[in-house]
């Protein structure tokens, strides 16, 4: 059986990997559109015809939503890492150094979630 902080951390990892995948897929689509537009412009196609290739507003919003999802997943991951590491006995200072946060940020995350800190 996996302990609760580890389960939360594994859930956060899965969430972050999923968000990475969504963003990667949207970036790949955007890259394909840009490459196609660049090629058509270099071949002399009109700007109007080229602009008609661009994704719709809803398509662009999908990419923006993927970025927002990624930031949310990173926040969830950070909270899960802090909780698991503190419960495992890591000091605030070492944890802050390992995850590139300040000790104050680690302490704030712990305090906001009522996690005991040694």
pLDDT in tens, 48-75: 988 887 777 677 788 889 999 999 999 9
Q: Residue 1: its pLDDT value, please?
A: 47
Residue 11 lies in a domain: yes
Q: Which domain holds residue 69?
A: 4-112
Residue 118 lies in a domain: no
Cβ atoms of 77 and 15 within 8 Å: the answer is yes
The token pair at 81 is: 């890492």
The structure tokens 């680690």 sit at: 106
Q: How far apart are CA 10 and CA 83, in angstroms?
A: 12
Residue 55 lies in a domain: yes
pLDDT in tens, the chain (118 residues): 456 888 889 999 999 999 999 999 988 888 888 898 899 999 999 999 888 877 776 777 888 899 999 999 999 999 899 988 988 899 999 999 999 899 999 999 888 877 777 6
The number of domains in the chain is 1
Q: Residue 13: its pLDDT value, please?
A: 95
Residue 51 lies in a domain: yes
Q: Residue 118: its pLDDT value, please?
A: 65
Residue 80 lies in a domain: yes
């Amino acid at each position: 059986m996996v302990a609760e902080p580890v389960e939360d951390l594994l859930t956060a990892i899965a969430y972050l990997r999923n968000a990475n995948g969504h963003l990667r897929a949207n970036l790949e689509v955007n890259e394909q559109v840009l490459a196609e537009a660049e090629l058509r412009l270099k071949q002399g196609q009109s700007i109007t015809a080229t602009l008609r290739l661009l994704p719709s507003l809803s398509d662009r919003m999908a990419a923006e939503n993927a970025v927002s999802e990624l930031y949310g997943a990173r926040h969830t991951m950070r909270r899960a890492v802090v909780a698991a590491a503190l419960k495992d006995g890591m000091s605030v200072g070492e944890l802050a150094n390992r995850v590139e946060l300040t000790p104050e940020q680690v302490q704030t995350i712990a305090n906001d979630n009522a996690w005991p800190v040694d």
